[in-house]
Amino acid sequence: MADLLLGVHCSISGGLHNAFDEANQLGVDTFQIFTKNQRQWRDKKISAYEKKEFSDAFDSSAIKTVVSHTTYLINLASGKDDLRSKSEASLISEVERCTDLGVAYAVLHPGAAKDLGYDKGMEQIAMGLRNVLKATRDSNVMILLENTAGQGSSIGYDFNHLRTIMDQVDSDRIGVCFDTCHAFAAGYDIRSKEGYDDTFGQFDEIVGLEHLKVLHLNDSKGDLGSKLDRHDNIGFGNIGAEAFGRIMNDFKHLPKVLETPKKDDWDSKNLEMLRSMVNN
Ligand code: FE
Ligand code: FE
Ligand code: ZN
């Protein structure tokens, strides 16, 4: 079978290289990880030993791409100086870990504007990103802005937000990760062929499809425009299977990662569903 660049979010419990065991068991060629505990600020450096373990596992696996998801605590748009500098430091450390591990992409939720408002929030995100890129200027790791569901004051639910930030950072180390659940919850109706074409047409016009590097494949428990970030199994949520069939065929060349609930072996079921949709 040709490379599908399809995978899941894998656990790093017991060591970063363990993600490869889970991936190999599922027979995927792509996966996403957290490079550290995603709910804690404490950062870690990759030791020489971890680096070797990871690259050995990488080399002896069928994995084509590994993507990292940054910690949820990072908020470059924060109005609080201490939180903002902590966020920058954490993102710098993330890019360094990705560099050490040979991970090409770090996916980032742009941030939450809170009382600052969206425009000022986006300015701060851009400023933070410029600082992070400067501090890691020898790295090739790209930071991918993920579109959001629009929950609370989160920035990035509108493709124009992503464009605004990209314009202000102006670096080829910034790209985009498209999350299907978030887009749908934000009001982009990808269910029908017309809605799907319209959404990706807008994406291309505003962001540029050439900047799209990774997709997160999640069905949505929430309704269209609900701003609810609740992932569902493929074909069982409000988006439905059709859109995922289109994505599997339109974006064969890009890494696609499931972030759906793992219990009851749903990873295998979701993967099987997505694989069956690929036209040869
Ligand atoms: Fe995310
Ligand atoms: Fe996501
Ligand atoms: Zn989500």
Indicate the CATH number for domain 6-276: 3.20.20.150
Under 8 Å between Cβ of 221 and 232: yes
pLDDT for residue 251 is more than 90: yes
- 188 catalytic residue (yes or no): no
Average pLDDT over residues 260-278: 96
Cβ-proximal residues to 30 (8 Å cutoff; 6+ apart), any chain: 4, 5, 6, 7, 63, 64, 65, 66, 67, 255, 256, 257
Select which of 9, 84, 211, 231 is catalytic.
Answer: 231
Residue 49 bears catalytic tag: no
How many angstroms does the Cα of residue 182 sit away from the middle of ligand 3? Answer: 6
Please give the distance, rounded to the nearest whole angstrom, from the Cα atom of residue 178 to the centre of ligand 1. Answer: 9
Least confident of 36-40, 107-111, 157-161: 36-40
Q: What is the pLDDT of residue 115?
A: 82
**Quick one: average pLDDT of 245-254?**
98
- The whole-chain average pLDDT of the chain stands at 97
Distance from the alpha carbon of residue 222 to the mean position of ligand 2, in angstroms: 15
CB neighbour list of residue 184: distance below 8 Å, 6 or more residues apart: 190, 191, 220, 222, 224, 238, 239
Domain chopping of the chain, boundaries: 6-276
Q: How far is the CA of 14 from the centre of ligand 2 (A)?
A: 24
Alpha helices of 174-235 — where are they, by DSSP H?
180-185, 193-206
- Active-site residue, 161 included: no
For residue 179, indicate whether it is catalytic: yes
Neighbours of 50 (CB within 10 A): 17
DSSP secondary structure of 8-27 = EE---TT-TTHHHHHHHHHT
Which of the following is catalytic: 17, 29, 43, 69? 69
Q: What is the pTM of this model?
A: 0.98
Residue 213: the pLDDT is 98
Write out the two tokens for 209: 């499809």
What pLDDT was estimated at residue 1? 57
Q: What is the percent of the chain with per-residue pLDDT over 70, rounded to a whole number?
A: 100
pLDDT number for residue 164: 98
